[in-house]
């Protein structure tokens, strides 16, 4: 079930809307109705009839009685009708009578709050007095509602000459007492309510500070309670009071003060960037960066030199420092980025990110690196700033021991910024066999961007390198900068490589070349494909090359084609796939949702066959057929059974078991539904539960990768 909405019916049933397969839509849906096995009855009449009736015709005594009804909708309607009538006395009588049901008193209190929020101050005195008195009620539920309503009653109300100021102070005093209530809910509501009453006296400030010290200290802090105290600080403390607490001895108080400053957009929050508690520094950074508070970005960027008392700088803080420097776009910000990149105590990912910010200095990303929010850069930036800054830092950066990703990021940025002094370093890297093949290939690509002539010379030497990834990179350089007649024979020879990726890349290179020699090579490969003499692992690449260079088109499979023809049309996906990519597709590609129905590697559903060990008994053609023509061969255990009951209800699912009395079917959501044999009007076998259009949601290369992964599942599932 993919529930999208839930509602309670007047009869006590729960109604749920179900989109079945996913948010993309399957052209179908379900409505579920859940009923209690033993429905509870009530002496107050039929709920549906009362809800549909004329509420204005009900007597006030009847409405007062309904305030304690089990159905919340009736309680609310009764409360609103009494409020419309102005029946404050009814509410007051129920609130002050502790023998009344708690729910009735809760709604009566809320009704009084409706009166208290009216603009005519003379009409709020008695309701407010009743609400204030309820703050000390023995029942915590009543105290909680009274405290919350008291805050809402005063929110936005200004003092006037009608004696409201004294009432406000009385309300404040009662709320202060509740800050130490036994109930955490009451405490939280009291802190929020004090904030709603506005700026308070020193007594209010000290009471909230004491609460922060008591309830926010330690490792097991209730986040809801902390938020409530923050709301109290934000509303009850003025700017000078908040500024005074920046140096408070308690880290808990400083943290709450910092969060309150965030809500108030108080510039004093920048002082917390120098706090000795890393948590508070991070919260200040989040406020400045995420809101954002643009005037404070220079202070945040300066945290590039921040060193916490213990441990290392939090990644979340480093990312915001980098983003702040990137937003500023001034020379000092560029220097601070090199500071981040030079810090060996930071993670490689963050140091690479700092270098990347320099690389794209002239054209920074349009989405914020941290929040993903769209950001507009009003002025163009001179890349000379980043170039000069990075060039000055290069000796120190490259003189230190950098791991490959960071080293490559530095050299790539230098290349793109036009720093030519890194050419010899890139050349040496290309030839350095102690470096990973992938990094050497990337180094050759960067060298090509900075000095194509040198890159071509280096590629000439690397075309016979022992590593396939390096040979492929060298071949790409030569293909783009040398005559086709000179390089096509090299590419053709690579099609016979022992490395799968190199063979496939070579065919794709031929497809990318627009020259007579490459077209002739594609013709030769296409002829081998037609004759059945071509290596099956490159069938797909050759078919794509023929489409691109020879104008061949892969005819779509006809709707009435035989199963053999349908499978044959996808035969180029049988060999040559990548197992790792196929596994990732199975578990993460939402369009096909394989893992929703199939179980593998200890994860997934059980609507379809378990896949662990499937390659031990099934060959690749069977695996392909089960995807492109799922109804061709369906195991009995997974064939859909469709039942029509004598009530006209259709039930479709996988047959689990049956006996003389009951048929059990497994539904698409994994649940099991029982159907009485006596109620079955008709029964047929339907198609496979595997979606017939699954192949339409995969590219040919994706299908090939999926087949490769399935073919690797030779080990049976763990018991």
Q: Which domains does the chain have, with CATH numbers?
A: 3-34 (no CATH), 383-549 (1.25.10.10), 579-711 (2.30.30.100)
Q: b vs e for 294-310, b when ≥16 Cβ sit within 10 Å of the residue's Cβ?
A: eebbbbbbbbbebebee
Is residue 141 scored above 90 in pLDDT? Answer: yes
Question: Which pLDDT belongs to residue 39?
Answer: 63
Sign of the CA dihedral 421, 423, 425, 426?
Answer: positive
- The secondary element (H helix, E strand) that includes residue 594 is helix 594-597
0.85 surpassed by pTM: no
pLDDT digits (tens, 9 = 90+) for 181-202: 999 999 999 999 999 999 888 9
| Neighbouring residues of 433: CB distance < 8 A, sequence distance ≥ 6 | 466, 467
| Neighbouring residues of 447: CB distance < 8 A, sequence distance ≥ 6 | 415, 423, 426, 427, 430, 454, 455, 458
Residue with more model confidence, 402 or 192: 192
pLDDT digits (tens, 9 = 90+) for 255-276: 999 999 999 999 999 999 999 9
The predicted model gives 408-416 an average pLDDT of 91
Residue with more model confidence, 549 or 610: 549
680: which strand partners? 645
Question: Which pLDDT belongs to residue 19?
Answer: 81
Is residue 121 scored above 60 in pLDDT? Answer: no
Other CB atoms within a 10 A radius of the CB of residue 22 amount to: 12
Is residue 644 scored above 50 in pLDDT? Answer: yes
The predicted model gives 512-528 an average pLDDT of 93
The predicted model gives 456-472 an average pLDDT of 95
The predicted model gives 111-138 an average pLDDT of 79
634 — pLDDT class (breaks 50, 70, 90): low
696 — pLDDT class (breaks 50, 70, 90): confident
| 646-648-653-659 Cα dihedral, nearest 10 degrees | 0
> Residue 103 has which token pair?
């729910």
Question: Which pLDDT belongs to residue 163?
Answer: 47
Beta strands in 262-406 (DSSP E): none
| Neighbouring residues of 668: CB distance < 8 A, sequence distance ≥ 6 | 20, 21, 597, 607, 653, 689
Is residue 73 scored above 50 in pLDDT? Answer: yes
């Amino acid at each position: 079930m993919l529930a999208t909405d839930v509602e309670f019916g007047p009869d006590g049933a729960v109604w749920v809307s179900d989109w079945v397969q996913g948010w993309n839509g399957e052209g179908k849906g379900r409505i579920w109705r859940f009923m209690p096995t033993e429905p509870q009855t009530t002496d107050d009449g039929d709920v549906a009839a009362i809800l549909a009736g004329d509420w204005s015709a009900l007597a006030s005594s009847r409405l007062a009685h309904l305030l304690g009804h089990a159905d919340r909708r009736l309680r609310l309607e009764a409360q609103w009708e009494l409020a419309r009538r102005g029946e404050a006395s009814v509410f007051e009588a129920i609130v002050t009578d502790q023998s009344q049901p708690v729910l009735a008193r809760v709604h009566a209190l809320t009704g009084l709050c409706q009166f208290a929020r009216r603009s005519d101050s003379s009409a709020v005195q008695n309701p407010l007095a009743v609400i204030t008195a309820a703050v000390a009620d023995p029942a915590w539920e009543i105290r909680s509602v009274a405290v919350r309503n008291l805050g809402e009653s005063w929110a936005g109300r200004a003092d006037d000459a009608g004696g409201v100021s004294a009432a406000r102070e009385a309300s404040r005093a009662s709320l202060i007492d509740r800050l130490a209530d036994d109930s955490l809910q009451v405490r939280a509501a009291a802190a929020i309510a004090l904030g709603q009453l506005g700026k308070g006296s020193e007594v209010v400030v000290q009471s909230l500070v004491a609460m922060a010290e008591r309830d926010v200290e330690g490792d097991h802090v209730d986040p809801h309670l902390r938020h409530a105290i923050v709301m109290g600080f934000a509303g009850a403390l003025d700017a000078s009071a908040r500024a005074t607490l920046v140096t408070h001895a308690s880290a808990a108080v400083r943290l709450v003060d910092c969060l309150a400053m965030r809500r108030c957009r108080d510039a004093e929050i920048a002082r917390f960037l120098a706090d000795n508690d890393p948590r508070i520094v991070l919260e200040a950074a989040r406020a400045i960066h995420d809101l954002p508070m643009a005037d404070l970005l220079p202070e945040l960027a300066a945290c590039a030199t921040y060193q916490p008392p213990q441990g290392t700088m939090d990644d979340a803080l480093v990312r915001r420092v980098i983003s702040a420097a990137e937003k500023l776009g001034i020379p000092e910000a560029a220097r601070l980025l090199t500071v981040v990149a030079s810090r060996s105590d930071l993670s490689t990912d963050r140091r690479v990110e700092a270098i990347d910010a320099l690389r794209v200095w002239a054209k920074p990303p349009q989405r914020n690196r941290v929040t993903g929010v769209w950001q507009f850069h009003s002025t163009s930036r001179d890349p000379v700033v980043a170039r000069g800054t990075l060039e000055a830092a290069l000796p120190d950066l490259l003189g230190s021991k950098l791991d490959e990703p960071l080293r490559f990021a530095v050299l790539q940025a230098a290349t793109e910024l036009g720093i030519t002094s890194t050419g010899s370093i890139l050349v040496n890297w290309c030839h350095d066999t102690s470096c990973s093949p992938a990094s050497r290939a990337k180094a050759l690509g960067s060298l090509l961007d900075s000095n194509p002539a040198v890159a071509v010379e280096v590629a000439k030497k690397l075309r016979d390198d022992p590593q396939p990834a390096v040979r492929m990179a060298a071949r790409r350089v030569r293909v783009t900068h040398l005559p086709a007649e000179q390089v096509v024979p090299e590419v053709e020879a690579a099609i016979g490589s022992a490395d799968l990726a190199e063979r496939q890349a070579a065919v794709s290179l031929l497809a990318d070349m627009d020259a007579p020699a490459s077209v002739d090579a594609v013709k030769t490969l296409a002829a081998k494909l037609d004759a059945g003499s071509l290596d099956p692992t490159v069938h797909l690449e050759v078919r794509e090359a023929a489409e691109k260079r020879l104008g061949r088109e892969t005819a779509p499979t006809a709707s009435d084609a035989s199963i053999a023809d349908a499978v044959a049309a996808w035969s180029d996906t049988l060999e040559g796939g990548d197992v790792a990519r196929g596994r990732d597709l199975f578990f993460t590609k939402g369009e096909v949702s394989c893992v929703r129905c199939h179980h593998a590697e200890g994860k997934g559903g059980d609507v379809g066959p378990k896949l662990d060990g499937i390659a031990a008994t099934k060959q690749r053609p069977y695996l392909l057929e089960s995807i492109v023509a799922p109804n061709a061969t369906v195991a009995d255990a997974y064939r859909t059974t469709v039942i029509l009951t004598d009530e006209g209800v259709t039930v479709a699912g996988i047959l689990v078991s049956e006996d003389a009395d009951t048929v059990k079917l497994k539904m698409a959501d994994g649940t099991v539904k029982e159907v009485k044999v006596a109620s079955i009007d008709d029964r047929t076998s339907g198609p496979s539960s595997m979606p017939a259009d699954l192949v339409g949601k995969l590219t040919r290369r994706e299908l090939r990768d999926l087949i490769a992964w399935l073919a690797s599942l030779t080990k049976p599932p763990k018991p």
